[in-house]
Amino acid sequence: MFRILKKENLAPNIFLMDVEAPRIAKNALPGQFLIVRVDDEGERVPLTICDYNPAAGTVQIVFQVVGGETQRMSQLNEGDSFHDIVGPLGKPSDLTELPIEELKKMKICFIAGGVGTAPVYCQLKWLHDNGVTVDCIQGAKTKDIIILEDEMRAVSNLHICTDDGSYGINGNVTVALQKLYDDGMRFDRVVAIGPMIMMKFVCLLTKKLGIETIVSMNPIMVDGTGMCGACRLMVGDKVQFACVDGPEFDGHLVDFDQAMQRSRMYATEEGRLFLRAKEGDTHHGGCGNCG
Phi and psi at residue 135, in whole multiples of 5°?
Answer: -95, 155
Rounded CA-CA distance 188/193 in Å is 17
pLDDT of residue 259: 82
User: CB within 8 A of 225, min separation 6: which ones?
Assistant: 35, 89, 243, 244, 286, 287
Q: Report how far apart, in Å, the C-alpha atoms of 75 and of each of 81, 180, 285 are.
A: 11, 41, 33
**Strand, helix or coil for residue 33:** strand
Domain boundaries, the chain: 2-89, 98-216, 219-291
Q: Domain 98-216, what fold?
A: Rossmann fold (3.40.50)
Which segments of the chain have a pLDDT < 70? 219-230, 262-291
pTM greater than the 0.85 cutoff: yes
Burial class for 42, CB neighbours closer than 10 Å (0-12, 13-18, 19+): middle
Topology of the domain comprising 2-89: Elongation Factor Tu (Ef-tu); domain 3 (2.40.30)
Predicted local confidence at residue 286, as pLDDT? 46
pLDDT at 271: 46
pLDDT at 83: 94
- Crossing angle for the helix pair 196-209 and 173-182, nearest 10 degrees? 20
Cα 79 to the center of its chain, rounded Å: 27
Report the SS3 class of residue 14: strand
Provide the CA 188 distance to its chain's centre, in angstroms: 21
pLDDT computed for residue 291 by the predictor:
35
pLDDT of residue 240: 83
Q: Name residue 229's amino acid.
A: G
Q: Where are the beta strands (DSSP E) in 147-281?
A: 157-162, 169-170, 189-193, 212-216, 232-235, 238-241, 248-250
Choose among 166, 251, 67: nearest CA to 242: 251
For residue 13, give the H/E element and its range: none
pLDDT of 275 reads 47
Predicted local distance difference test score (pLDDT) of residue 256: 86
